[in-house]
Amino acid sequence: MNSNLLVLDLSVISKGVLAVRLDEETWEYYADAYEKNKIKLYGFINNLAKEHKGKSLKEIKEIANEIKPVPKTYEFIKKIKDKGYDIALITKDYSILAEKFKKLLSVEYAFGSVPIFSNNTHTGEMKYIMDEKGILDAIESIKDNYKKIITIADDRAYKILDKISEIIVYDGKDNEIKNTSYKHVDSPNILDLLKYL
């Protein structure tokens, strides 16, 4: 185990969002409401889950398997590990996608929203929602193992970590995180993040 931890928002390194591929129109509707502060993140994720009721576990896993890392992800992960960091992937999306990337990239941790299945069918309910509280709880559960924590994210939900982690905004699309004093990297090349690690 290394003494440093990089908390990495999965959207920084993945070419897609599982919930979008399950139902793009519904995603857009709730994402817009969240962006305009009409609903909280918890409601955003919970409402998406309700819309996914009846989807099979097999279908969700197949869609997750179609989502690939962005270019240079493997090089990026190797360089981070060479700098002495363990990596925690974190996503507001389903944990199925986070676990896939954890295995694919051989990283230490993966956290995501956990859907409930019955007879291999999504019930529309969630066991665990990776909203701001979920994000904080996940990292709080491992933070004592590390001297230094850095978070790379593109979404305001991760501001919750700024008391326990330095935050780097990568290609921030969310106005609430764009207009912060955090370090910002706006580049299509994720290797440009390395200058801050």
Sign of the torsion angle spanned by Cα atoms 140, 97, 9, 34? negative
- pLDDT surpassing 90 at residue 144: yes
Identify the residue with better confidence: 171 or 133.
133
**Angle at alpha carbon of residue 133, lines to 130 and 135, rounded to 5°:** 50
Rounding to the nearest 10 degrees, give the CA dihedral for residues 192, 182, 9, 33.
-130
Cα 157 from Cα 131, distance rounded (Å): 7
Whole-prediction pTM value?
0.91
pLDDT of 174 > 70? The answer is: no
- Supply the CATH classification number for the domain 4-196: 3.40.50.1000
Summarize pLDDT for 40-66 with one digit per residue, the tens: 999 889 888 998 999 999 999 998 999
User: CA-to-CA distance for 5 and 80, rounded, in angstroms?
Assistant: 10
DSSP lists the bridge partners of residue 86 as 5
| Residue 178 CB burial class (10 angstroms; 0-12, 13-18, ≥19) | middle
